[in-house]
Amino acid sequence: MSETAEAAAAVKDIGLGAISIQGVGKTYQSGKTTFRALDDIDLEIGANEFVTILGPSGCGKSTLLRIVAGLEEANEGEIGLDGEYVVGPGANRGMVFQGYTLFPWLTVRQNIEYGPKLKGISILERRAISNHYLRITRLESFANRFPKQLSGGMKQRVAIARALANGPKVMLMDEPFGALDAQTKLEMQECLLDVMEKEKTTVLFITHDIDEAIFLSQRIVVMAAGPGRILKEFSVALPAERTPEVREHPEFLKLKRELAALLKHRDNN
């Protein structure tokens, strides 16, 4: 193997996907009024880390995620991804939103193959990619269905599969399970961890649901509004394997109390 190929193989093994958010600020202007949506956000996220941003509605979570995605520009500060500045959207970041963003005229398989097809990947290779993602998201028997024939949970599984099919280093997820019923939401959280265990990408996840944040994450970053800023960070000291029983773990319950108190305190001030 040549030195370059060796280095490339090593990079693939490590997975990469380290995000560096430095001094990011965002001010929205409408007419004469200005609104400070984000103020001096500093956050380092390691390769393959699962970090959740938790905070009340309006604290700037989506704005921050859109800036990391390159869909919106910060007024101050910089975003780095594996040492390169983020200057716009790119295939190294996959996005999953709350609203179902599937193409309604394409089948599940065609939705998953959409990105690889745009990249000019051959039919055979595309088929291998969609087979893989259909399998790990447990959608194999739904490959030929159209989005309107799927439940909300299934649609989000397709959205995850479709994002992963582009081979991103980072998954940016904005309240992806926010519109699902309670039971489906729990199933989707387990499905996501299962998929991420196999895919090993970095995940930056947004929610205002404390239980969801603890169950999924290695680290939780709590944000507050007025202006949008980071309040506190928490490491989640739970077993790496998150079985449903983890929700009864003393550490889970302790962290849940701490986070609830912090968010309640902010609401009252």
User: Which residue among 51, 59, 69, 220 contacts ligand ADP (CB under 6 A)?
Assistant: 59
Q: What is the dihedral of CA 100, 236, 257, 249, to 10 degrees?
A: 100
* 57 lies in the binding site for ligand ADP (CB under 6 A): yes
DSSP reduced 3-state for 201: coil
User: Which residue among 11, 35, 78, 87 contacts ligand ADP (CB under 6 A)?
Assistant: 35
Q: How far is CA 196 from CA 126, 185, 217, in A?
A: 21, 16, 11
Binding mask 12-31 for ligand ADP (x = CB under 6 A): ----------------x-x-
* 267 lies in the binding site for ligand ADP (CB under 6 A): no
* 58 lies in the binding site for ligand ADP (CB under 6 A): yes
Instruction: Choose between 18 and 54: whose C-beta lies nearer to ligand ADP.
Output: 54
For ligand ADP (CB under 6 A), the number of binding residues is 13
Question: Could you give the CA distance from residue 221 to residue 21 in angstroms, rounded to a whole number?
Answer: 13
Instruction: Choose between 38 and 236: whose C-beta lies nearer to ligand ADP.
Output: 38
Residue partners of 110: CB distance under 8 A and separation at least 6:
103
Residue 135: Cβ within 10 Å count = 12
User: Which residue among 17, 25, 60, 115 contacts ligand ADP (CB under 6 A)?
Assistant: 60
User: Which residue among 48, 52, 63, 201 contacts ligand ADP (CB under 6 A)?
Assistant: 63
* Structural element, H or E, at residue 205: strand 202-207
Instruction: Choose between 71 and 106: whose C-beta lies nearer to ligand ADP.
Output: 71
Return the residue matching tokens 């690889």. Answer: 116
Q: Which of 62, 262, 73, 70 is nearest to 175 (CA)?
A: 62
For the chain, how many residues are written? 269
Q: To the nearest whole angstrom, how small is the minimum distance from the Cβ of residue 67 to ligand ADP?
A: 10
Q: How far is CA 57 from CA 208, 263, 268, in A?
A: 7, 11, 15
Interacting stretch for ligand ADP, rule CB under 6 A, among 57-65, 105-113, 141-149, 242-250? 57-65
Burial of 145 (0-12, 13-18, 19+ CB in 10 A): middle
Q: To the nearest whole angstrom, how small is the minimum distance from the Cβ of residue 168 to ligand ADP?
A: 21
* 103 lies in the binding site for ligand ADP (CB under 6 A): no
Q: To the nearest whole angstrom, how small is the minimum distance from the Cβ of residue 50 to ligand ADP?
A: 19
* 37 lies in the binding site for ligand ADP (CB under 6 A): yes
Site of interaction with ligand ADP (CB under 6 A): 28, 30, 35, 37, 55, 57-63, 228
